[in-house]
């Protein structure tokens, strides 16, 4: 049994929403992207599992990867163009927001 204040419990719940609810929505977005190209979502399972494992063993900040972290603007633009072609402005907006958040957190 853990004893936390109301404020601590609220913060823990907020953290759970980020860690679980939002990440699950990201899985759903990823599935939408691959489904549109008839690619099997299960190909991402090893990467998803490895990422979750790292989150439990290391500070997530320290193990962030990807084109936003590398500031690979060519790949970022290619991904955004792909979302435009797929007529998914909603996913493009989320992609831009998350990419910019990673860049800001790691490079500012």
pLDDT averaged per 10 residues in sequence order, the chain, 108 residues: 97 98 98 97 99 98 98 98 96 98 95
Quick one: 87 and 47 in the same domain? no
Quick one: 85 and 52 in the same domain? no
**Residues 34 and 40 sit within 8 Å (Cβ to Cβ):** yes
pLDDT at 94: 98
Quick one: 73 and 53 in the same domain? no
Q: What is the dihedral of CA 89, 90, 93, 96, to 10 degrees?
A: -90
pLDDT at 98: 99
> Does residue 31 form part of some domain?
yes
> Does residue 2 form part of some domain?
no
User: What does the block give as tokens for 101?
Assistant: 């958040």
> Does residue 39 form part of some domain?
yes
> Does residue 1 form part of some domain?
no
Parent domain of 98: 64-108
pLDDT at 108: 79
> Does residue 36 form part of some domain?
yes
Buried b (16+ CB within 10 A) or exposed e, 43-74: ebeeeeeeeeeeeeeeeeeeeeeebbeeeeee
Tell me 87's DSSP state. Answer: T
């Amino acid at each position: 049994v853990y004893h936390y204040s109301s404020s601590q419990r609220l913060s823990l719940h907020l953290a759970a929403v980020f860690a679980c609810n939002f990440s699950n929505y990201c899985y759903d977005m990823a599935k939408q992207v691959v489904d549109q190209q008839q690619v099997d979502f299960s190909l991402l399972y090893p990467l998803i599992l490895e990422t979750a494992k790292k989150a439990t063993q290391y500070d997530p900040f320290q193990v962030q990867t990807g084109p936003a972290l590398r500031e690979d603007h060519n790949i970022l633009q290619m991904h955004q163009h792909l979302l435009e072609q797929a007529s998914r402005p909603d996913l493009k907006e989320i992609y831009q927001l998350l990419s910019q958040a990673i860049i800001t957190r790691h490079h500012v």
